[in-house]
Structure 1
Amino acid sequence: MSERNGLRYGLLGLIVLLLVAGLAFCVSRTAGGNTPAIAPQPASAAPTGLQSLAEAAGKQPGHRKLDIQRWTTAEGARVLFVEAHELPMFDLRLIFAAGSSQDGDASGLAMLTNAMLNEGVPGKDTSAIAAGFEDLGADFSNGSYRDMALAGLRSLSEKDKRDAALKLFDQVIGQPTFPEEALTRIKNQVLAGFEYQKQNPGKLAALALFKQLYGDHPYARSSDGDEHSVPKITTAQLRAFHQKAYAAGNSVIALVGDLSRAEAEAIAAQVSASLPKGPALPPTVAPQVPKAGVTHIEFPSKQTHLLLAQLGITRNDPDYAALYLGNQILGGGGFGTRLMDQVREKRGLTYGVSSGFTGMQARGPFSIALQTRAELSEGTLKLVQDIVRDYLKSGPTQKELDDAKRELAGSFPLSTASNGDIVAQLGAIGFYDLPSDYLETFLTQVQGLSVEQVKAAMQRHLDPDAFVIVTAGPTVPQKPLPPPTDKPAEQPLGVPEH
């Protein structure tokens, strides 16, 4: 939840806990498809609504079917490829099991290694690398998280541009020089970010939540490291971590675009050969179930952050579809969810409330996050817990289930709307060892779920008495909550603080 992308330095101001629910299925662009035809009306018949919507009701939505091809390179890198000739370009993404869960005793090591990839290669500094990609019309991207680290390339597929972009990309991922002056600069930026987050109650609460939830597990530590660990990390440690964690055998190569199978195989072989040689790293160990309880962080503010979490699921859990749908009804689907309806719409207690499962290599968190007026924080916390308890006891209604299925059916095509969307999906499928037909079967699984199946899955994985809770805000006299109404007397304070 508190991961950051790219170079991962700069100001840290967002609570990534609020992302949680839709990891792979809600993206930003629409896919093409056939619009349902409007049936002709007899002259004497008056239309009773939008005929196109009536005809669409109950029909399976169209979505982009992907022919995912898979193979393994000579060095052990797993490859997933989708041929797509609509645009004269390709997207390449490398996913390494090289996130902060592999930091060991040097918290922040994975983040700094990833951030330093494009700071220098033999004969080129960071400015020359950036100019090289820009001159070719190519784009390099990178990021580091708890489970994984990424490196990506978007380039034109024309052979001369493609070859030049790949040559530079191979240097960046396979031959980083980790220059000392760049490491000093990035450390200073990261340390400045740590100072800023001390003034961000949401960030402080999120850090404390992971510590309470995961204890001694690697997920407990911030993937950015901390102000004590980051200054001690050396270039020798970066080189050693790169040699081990960026090995071909520890990688997944996702490739989408205007390429033939033969061209894709050649690219994958070239990229794989440019990486250090080595096997996959051992997976993250399973965390221990934490003790439930409340931790408060005193912070001067008008609002209080409320964060609730318990251990959830791994990304390849067989109940993922049922839990995803169940959470959409509870709090993952925005307006219309039970949490949003009861906490915001009927009482005006918050600007927004969100819940969700974050599936990871080991059990990721199920979390709920919101802000509310400080004087109403205790009552709001109890209300949220009561809503969860009631939902787990009763399950969704048939109408809630049907509405959530329709919403997902409408948004699902967006998950493969662009090459960038597809390459992200391929990376997740490869990294979390999901079946090649995952995108085809997920929606079918969701549409076939019953109220009882969703209820049973939520009850298997959630316990209303198991929440680890962190609050951040001032200690003030508490007021009783307003009663529920369709027109709350007092609206939320507005945009959440911090």
Structure 2
Amino acid sequence: MSERNGLRYGLLGLAVLILLALLLLVVRRPDAPATQAVPADSAKIESLTEINGQAPSRRNLEIQTWQTAEGAKVLFVEARELPMLDLRLTFAAGSSQDDGVQGLAMLTNAMLNEGVPGKDVGAIAAGFESLGAEFGNGAYRDMAVASLRSLSAADKREPALQLFNQVIGQPTFPEDALARIKNQLLAGFEYQKQNPGKLASLQLFERLYGEHPYAHPSEGNEGSVPTISREQLQAFHAKAYAAGNAVIALVGDLSRAEAEALTAEVSAALPAGPALPIIAQPDVPQAGASHIEFPSNQTHLMIAQLGIDRRDPDYAALFLGNQIFGGGGFGTRLMSEVREKRGLTYGVYSGFSAMQVRGPFMINLQTRAELSAGTLQLIKDLLRDYLASGPTQEELDNAKRELAGSFPLSTASNAAIVGQLGSMGFYDLPLSHLEDFMREVQALGVEQVKAAMAKHLDPEALVIVSAGPTVAQQELPPPSDKPVEQPSAVPEH
């Protein structure tokens, strides 16, 4: 550094020091208004380590419930923090109600906003957009949903609700839109043929559920979709989108009286009719492995058996037990043994999908084709050991702390709350479900979790589907803190 530059930087540093001193004098002025003083505690950012093991505070929901004149169940939470409302309708109108016409439920739901009397899909979209409102919809195995997010001011809320009621109650199912969406689905089916993970999933559900309605995919297949007619959509809508088959969840800037009036309008806009009967429980499938030959570098492994329905009393114990085994991301037994110690995969996960009737327990991953047999055996051994020994106390305590820290996010926004309300109403859970769930989880011991997992899972009853190439198999690398082997490619989808 030259002498001139040194002098320049020295003067600059002196100027900065003088400025900081002046600012400090201003901040410490004795005549500063008392109202500007901020208590030290209120500005402090607290660490989770300071809560002494207690769960963070969670939004306290005061859930109100009633039934409309037409038979729809309503769950409402008044939330005045934002000038908005979130409305979610949940119907027992998923693909389990297809009644032999695969894809009917999904196609009906997808067509809701394609046309109403006097408006096509473009006019409907423009109508919601002009009001700052959002429409959403979707169909799954158990349920179909339709949702509205709107400003709560009457001049925005009322026209948005009027348009929403037309969409859910008076869809015209125009023929041109039906042809367009069918073509989109058919293109998707062609793409699925190049996706080994999707092929494995389709075969897994077929083997797991046999003739049960859960066996087929919600979107149908290339043989069923082209034959679905506009008249079938109209008939399904009249039956499955009936008010008696609906749960209305509502959260937002509304009074009880306003909420009652709003939900009465929604209910009256729907077709009249009762709730559809719940489907039968599936039969236990035959265990064993099957393989789909596919030219790829990696092999997809999907391992499953029947799990539980959503009202099973062991739900909390199984949720916590699975978080430790493979449902909680990094730190689970599966991730630790399969990825971190051996480098066999980018990710391996397990989970219970609790549904109206027994949903699947699934483990899925993809690994290098030449190590697929060893990886599958490792996972089976890990499951067998976990069911026999259960979690350690340390694993249980860590999972409880993690869940206590993350669970408040389930009610952190109005959108999250309306989703919880819809699920609670659809699966007929008590209004105290969220509090009950956390209380049950925190009270669980090692033996209770072990007993629940061993009761519902059997390492000898696994349904296994693999998709990938048939290649010579290699022995697995030994476990290591720094595994030499790494996955050969980004996971294939």
TM-score above 0.5: yes
How far, CA to CA, are the matches of 2:240 and 2:190 in structure 1?
29
Check if 1:182 corresponds to 2:170.
no
Counterparts of 1:154-303 in structure 2, within 5 Å, are: 154-303=149-298
Tell me, what secondary structure is at the counterpart of 1:343? helix
**Match of 2:31?**
none
Spell out, residue by residue over 1:142-165, the C-alpha distance to the aligned partner (whole angstroms, 9 max, x if none): 000000000000000000110000
**Match of 1:449?**
444
Tell me, what secondary structure is at the counterpart of 2:272? coil
In structure 2, runs of 5+ residues without a counterpart are: 1-39
Q: Which has the larger radius of gyration?
A: 2
Corresponding pairs, count: 453
Check if 1:125 corresponds to 2:120.
yes
- Does the Cα contact within 8 Å between 2:95 and 2:105 map onto a contact in 1? yes
- Does the Cα contact within 8 Å between 1:37 and 1:52 map onto a contact in 2? no
Letter in 2 for 1:242: H
How far, CA to CA, are the matches of 2:368 and 2:89 in structure 1?
44
Q: Output the TM-score relative to the length of structure 2.
A: 0.90
**Match of 2:81?**
86
**Match of 2:466?**
471
Identify which of 383, 401, 404 aligns with 1:406. Answer: 401
Tell me, what secondary structure is at the counterpart of 2:180? helix
**Match of 1:384?**
379
CA change 1:266–1:405 in 2 (3 A) is: same
- Does the Cα contact within 8 Å between 1:344 and 1:492 map onto a contact in 2? no
- Does the Cα contact within 8 Å between 2:305 and 2:362 map onto a contact in 1? yes
CA change 1:123–1:375 in 2 (3 A) is: same
Give identity over the alignment, percent. Answer: 73
RMSD: 1.4
Tell me, what secondary structure is at the counterpart of 2:479? coil
CA change 1:220–1:37 in 2 (3 A) is: farther
How far, CA to CA, are the matches of 2:49 and 2:121 in structure 1?
57
Check if 1:137 corresponds to 2:103.
no
In structure 1, runs of 5+ residues without a counterpart are: 1-35, 41-49
How far, CA to CA, are the matches of 2:143 and 2:367 in structure 1?
33
**Match of 2:490?**
495
Identify which of 48, 55, 62 aligns with 2:57. Answer: 62
Query: How many angstroms does 1:61 deviate by?
Result: 2.0
Check if 1:105 corresponds to 2:100.
yes
Counterparts of 1:334-349 in structure 2, within 5 Å, are: 334-349=329-344
Query: How many angstroms does 1:490 deviate by?
Result: 1.2
Tell me, what secondary structure is at the counterpart of 1:199? coil
CA change 1:191–1:52 in 2 (3 A) is: closer
How far, CA to CA, are the matches of 2:269 and 2:67 in structure 1?
15
How far, CA to CA, are the matches of 1:354 and 1:493 in structure 2?
19
Query: How many angstroms does 1:60 deviate by?
Result: 2.8
- Does the Cα contact within 8 Å between 1:121 and 1:172 map onto a contact in 2? yes
Query: How many angstroms does 1:316 deviate by?
Result: 1.3
Spell out, residue by residue over 1:426-485, the C-alpha distance to the aligned partner (whole angstroms, 9 max, x if none): 000000000001111211111110000000110111001111000000000000001111
- Does the Cα contact within 8 Å between 2:55 and 2:405 map onto a contact in 1? no
How far, CA to CA, are the matches of 2:195 and 2:225 in structure 1?
20
Q: Output the TM-score relative to the length of structure 1.
A: 0.90
- Does the Cα contact within 8 Å between 1:137 and 1:156 map onto a contact in 2? yes
Tell me, what secondary structure is at the counterpart of 2:177? helix
How far, CA to CA, are the matches of 1:140 and 1:93 in structure 2?
10
Identify which of 348, 351, 366 aligns with 1:353. Answer: 348
Return structure 1 stretches of 4+ with deviation > 6 angstroms. Answer: none
Query: How many angstroms does 1:106 deviate by?
Result: 0.7
- Does the Cα contact within 8 Å between 2:55 and 2:401 map onto a contact in 1? no
Higher relative contact order (CA 8 A, sep 6+): 1
- Does the Cα contact within 8 Å between 2:85 and 2:252 map onto a contact in 1? yes
Tell me, what secondary structure is at the counterpart of 1:422? helix
How far, CA to CA, are the matches of 2:105 and 2:46 in structure 1?
55
Identify which of 366, 391, 406 aligns with 1:396. Answer: 391
- Does the Cα contact within 8 Å between 2:200 and 2:292 map onto a contact in 1? yes
Instruction: Please state which structure has a larger fraction of its residues in helix.
Output: 2
